[in-house]
């Protein structure tokens, strides 16, 4: 059997996807976390090791959500993973009124591509009005656009970090 080459399966590595998330001054312990576009829950699982009070993940791909649910069977952290398109009308019923931290990791440009610029912006506004703290990751050169959008929603940048592969982690707080 051939050894796998992860870089051929998706962009980046889990190491790079996690880079900066735990060194950006955000305390996850005891906090309720929303992971938007949570993929297979690997990042959420790493966060769960710091004992947040809860993790809620949303992703459009069913196999990803089923994997996340399986992974979290072994975690004591309260969790919920919903298979949902962020453009769906159901989103408002699925989201909690408040989260301590919203993770927007490599998701906003995917939302723009899959549900359109206007809808992506509306959905972003609906999600971020529920929190005080955002941890975002964007590809190189996409950081300004997201910062501008989120400053329009009342957030300012508290910290930034560039990963080895060049993605930008941005921590924003409501001012
Ligand atoms: C680049 S991956 C990022 C995954 C994860 N946040 C990370 O940092 O490893 C983007 C994820 O967003 C999900 N996604 C894209 N468009 C979506 C949409 N309209 N609704 C829900 N999930 C979506 C994809 O299925 C994928 O898992």
Query: Ligand 1 pocket: which of 33, 34, 105, 110 to mutate (most atoms <8 Å of CB)?
Result: 110
Q: Mean pLDDT for the chain?
A: 93
* pLDDT confidence of residue 12: 74
- The predicted-structure confidence for 24-83, as pLDDT tens digits, reads as follows 899 999 999 999 999 999 999 999 999 999 999 999 999 999 999 999 999 999 999 999
Q: Please tell me which residue, 127 or 1, carries the higher pLDDT value.
A: 127
In this model, does residue 22 exceed pLDDT 90?
A: yes
* pLDDT confidence of residue 164: 86
Query: Ligand 1 pocket: which of 33, 39, 66 to mutate (most atoms <8 Å of CB)?
Result: 39
Residue 38 tokens, joined: 């949570």
The whole-number average pLDDT for the span 145-152 is 96
The whole-number average pLDDT for the span 147-152 is 97
* pLDDT confidence of residue 9: 46
Residue-range domains of the chain with CATH: 12-174 (3.40.50.150)
Calculate the alpha carbon distances from 113 to 63, 150, 174 in Å. 21, 18, 26
Instruction: Give the sign of the dihedral formed by CA 22, CA 26, CA 31, CA 35.
Output: negative
């Amino acid at each position: 059997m051939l050894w796998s080459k992860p870089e051929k399966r998706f962009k980046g590595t889990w190491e790079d996807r996690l880079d900066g998330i735990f060194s950006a001054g955000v305390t996850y312990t005891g906090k309720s976390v929303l992971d938007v576009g949570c993929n297979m829950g690997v990042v959420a699982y790493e966060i769960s090791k710091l004992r947040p009070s809860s993790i809620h993940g949303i992703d459009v791909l069913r196999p990803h959500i089923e994997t996340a649910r399986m992974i979290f069977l072994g975690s004591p952290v309260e969790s919920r993973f919903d298979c949902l398109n962020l453009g769906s009308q159901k989103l408002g019923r699925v989201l909690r009124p408040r989260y301590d931290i919203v993770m927007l990791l490599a998701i906003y440009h995917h939302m723009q591509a899959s549900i359109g610029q206007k809808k992506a912006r509306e959905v972003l506004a609906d999600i971020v009005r529920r929190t005080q703290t955002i941890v975002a990751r964007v590809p190189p050169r996409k950081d300004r656009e997201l910062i501008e959008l989120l400053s329009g929603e009342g957030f300012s940048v508290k910290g930034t970090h560039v990963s080895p592969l060049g993605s930008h982690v941005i921590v924003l707080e409501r001012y």
